[in-house]
Chains A and B, each alone.
Chain A
Amino acid sequence: SAVISQKPSRDICQRGTSLTIQCQVDSQVTMMFWYRQQPGQSLTLIATANQGSEATYESGFVIDKFPISRPNLTFSTLTVSNMSPEDSSIYLCSVGRRGEAFFGQGTRLTVV
């Protein structure tokens, strides 16, 4: 298995500000994934973060809004920029190991 720590676990932020979410994995992984779960909705992949290269974003998500860093093989950050109430969601970090996808406990973001 993989142990994933996400920080913060929750936050309430003012609109127009930015929040950076951290994801730490207990061992090295090639790819890390960031998902968003809007209230009452399913999980949607935002981007894939590879160490040493730019993140790959899914349709509907852009780097200016969701910049991602991947400085090493165990850590990644996702920033939610210039937040609006529509960004209120749970953001989850995920890694794969031997075909299984493991998730952090998520960051519950509320934008007011």
Chain B
Amino acid sequence: AQKVTQAQTEISVVEKEDVTLDCVYETRDTTYYLFWYKQPPSGELVFLIRRNSFDEQNEISGRYSWNFQKSTSSFNFTITASQVVDSAVYFCALSEAGRDTDKLIFGTGTRLQVFP
């Protein structure tokens, strides 16, 4: 069965600190997709990244970076020089390839609080 684990329930940092959010997944599929979403207090889900299982290259987008390690089934998310606006709940998610590509299994989320 597929499963996503975000062991960190809540993280608090002070502005400008770097912070890494952990995500560990389980799947028997060889082809799958991994996602990160941000949910600010307003409640909407903001798409951050999608990574397919064949692409293990790390990705950087501004202050955000993602480290995909297939060997440890992890897809961690780092925010560099955090800002107050980064305060949100962050979800890691997994989907199968093929017909159910768009059906996501979410982790329990990590609440990030960035203090000024």
Within 8 A of A (CB), among B98-113: 101-109
Give a binary string over A73-110; 1 marks a CB under 8 Å from any B CB, 0 the rest: 00000000000000000101011110111110110100
Interface of A is mostly: strand
Partner of A43, one of B33, B47, B91: B91
Q: Which chain B positions have C-beta within 8 A of A103?
A: 37, 44-45, 47
Distance from B45 Cβ to chain A, minimum over Cβ atoms (Å): 4
Q: How many A residues face the partner with a CB closer than 8 A?
A: 22
A42 contacts B by Cβ under 8 Å: yes
Whether A42 and B107, one on each chain, are in contact in the complex, defined by CB atoms closer than 8 angstroms, is yes
A66 contacts B by Cβ under 8 Å: no
B50 contacts A by Cβ under 8 Å: yes
Find the A residue at minimum CB distance from B45. A103
Q: Which chain B positions have C-beta within 8 A of A43?
A: 45, 91, 104, 106
Q: Which residues of A contact B (CB under 8 A)?
A: 31, 33, 41-45, 48, 90, 92, 94-97, 99-103, 105-106, 108
Q: List 25 A-B contacts (CB under 8 A).
A: A33-B102, A33-B104, A42-B106, A42-B107, A42-B109, A43-B45, A44-B106, A45-B103, A45-B104, A48-B103, A90-B43, A92-B45, A96-B101, A96-B102, A99-B33, A99-B50, A99-B102, A100-B50, A101-B93, A101-B102, A103-B44, A103-B47, A105-B43, A105-B44, A106-B45
